[in-house]
């Protein structure tokens, strides 16, 4: 969305509206003192979009995803542990794909509808990482869990590197007007991934080959599986836990702020075209 919104918004109209408003408030319009280059700062490197959304509306649209994302972090882990990471991850991703596919329709209907859809996307995305931990808890041998979890988290960053330039190309050369093709293709691609089965756990894996490897994994998990109760009181009193929470919050705050706002900054302030914006950010 951070790349697509650069193509969706009519920056020229917003800048013109803002300039006229400022001129009226200062009386320059009546005196004919509006600078000749008032709109010169607006990038003309690519065509403006169709939506006249000011910065407040753009901020609400971009931020609404994180409102939903914040809500399902802890509940997502509990639900995945209780009902299985496979079901939670699969259902969440399916709903997210449908919401992504419907995004162009929502944007053309109302920015409020788009915000609601972005909140739903955030709710679904917020369960993904907890569900993946539940899956690795059933599949990964104890000594390999850290490595496998790191690979999983790295996949999200690889996805960003691929998606940003792809979104830029679709925004400029895509079908259905450019930016809608971003959501159509990503939504369709995500739904296709749902056809690949994600197993709930090694004990439910129906295998014909690789019996030796599966048996070894199963034995490792069985030997190290202990029914532990979550020590909530100790967690709440632990200073290292709070240090991890604070460091993670500040890290994510900076990372997501950059990911969300850099495309608009590069386009509006540095006057770069959409292709350059996404290549730099990617």
Interior CA angle at 159 toward 181 and 157, to 5°?
145
H helical segments located in 72-110: 73-83, 85-109
- Token pair belonging to 244: 């991890």
Q: Which of the residues in the chain have pLDDT under 70? A: 12-48, 191, 193-228, 274-282
CATH number of 4-201+209-223+234-281: 1.20.1250.20
Domain boundaries, the chain: 4-201+209-223+234-281
Q: Give the SS3 label for residue 34.
A: coil
Burial 51-64 (b: 16+ CB within 10 A, else e): bebeeebbebbbeb
Q: Rounded to an integer, what distance in angstroms lies between the CA atom of residue 259 and that of residue 277?
A: 11
Cβ atoms 148, 220 nearer than 8 A: no
pLDDT computed for residue 52 by the predictor: 85
Quote the CA–CA distance of 161 and 214 in Å, as a whole number.
Answer: 33
Q: Note the pLDDT tens digit of each residue in 73-89.
A: 888 888 888 888 888 88
Compute the distance between CA of residue 72 and CA of residue 105 in angstroms, rounded to an integer.
26
Q: Which residues are CB-neighbours of 232 under 8 A, at least 6 positions away?
A: none
Question: How much is the pLDDT for 201?
Answer: 46
Which contacts (CB < 8 Å, 24+ apart) does range 249-252 have? none
Cβ–Cβ under 8 Å, residues 77 and 129: no
DSSP state, residue 44:
-
Percentage, residues of the chain above pLDDT 70: 70
247: tokens are 């460091």
45: its two tokens: 């490197």
- The per-residue pLDDT for 275 is 62
Q: Which of 259, 239, 262 is CA-nearest to residue 251?
A: 259
What is the reported pTM? 0.75
pLDDT of residue 214: 57
pLDDT at 33: 42
Length of the chain: 282
- Tens-digit pLDDT profile for residues 256-271: 888 888 777 777 777 7
């Amino acid at each position: 969305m951070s790349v697509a919104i650069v193509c969706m918004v009519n920056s020229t109209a917003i800048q013109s509206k803002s300039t006229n408003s400022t001129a009226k408030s200062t009386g320059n319009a009546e005196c004919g003192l509006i600078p000749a280059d008032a709109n010169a700062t607006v990038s003309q490197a690519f065509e403006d979009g169709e939506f006249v959304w000011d910065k407040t509306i753009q901020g609400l649209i971009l931020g609404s995803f994180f409102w939903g994302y914040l809500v399902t972090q802890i509940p997502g882990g509990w639900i995945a542990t209780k009902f299985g990471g496979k079901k939670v991850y699969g259902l969440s991703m399916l709903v997210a794909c449908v919401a992504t596919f419907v995004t162009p329709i929502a944007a053309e209907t109302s920015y409020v509808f788009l915000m609601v859809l972005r909140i739903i996307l955030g709710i679904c995305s917020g369960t993904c990482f907890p569900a993946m931990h539940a899956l690795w808890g059933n599949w990964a041998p104890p000594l390999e869990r850290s490595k496998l979890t790191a690979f999983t988290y790295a996949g999200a960053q690889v996805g960003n590197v691929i998606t940003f330039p792809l979104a830029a190309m679709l925004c400029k050369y895509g079908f259905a007007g450019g930016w809608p093709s971003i959501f159509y293709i990503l939504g369709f691609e995500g739904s296709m991934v749902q056809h690949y089965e994600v197993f709930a756990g090694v004990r439910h894996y129906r295998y014909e080959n690789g019996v030796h490897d599966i048996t070894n994994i199963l034995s490792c998990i069985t030997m190290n599986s202990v029914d532990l109760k979550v020590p909530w009181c100790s967690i709440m009193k632990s200073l290292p836990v709070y240090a991890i929470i604070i460091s993670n919050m500040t890290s994510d705050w900076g990372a997501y702020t950059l990911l969300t706002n850099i495309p608009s900054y590069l386009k509006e302030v540095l006057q770069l075209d959409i292709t350059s914006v996404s290549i730099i950010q990617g």
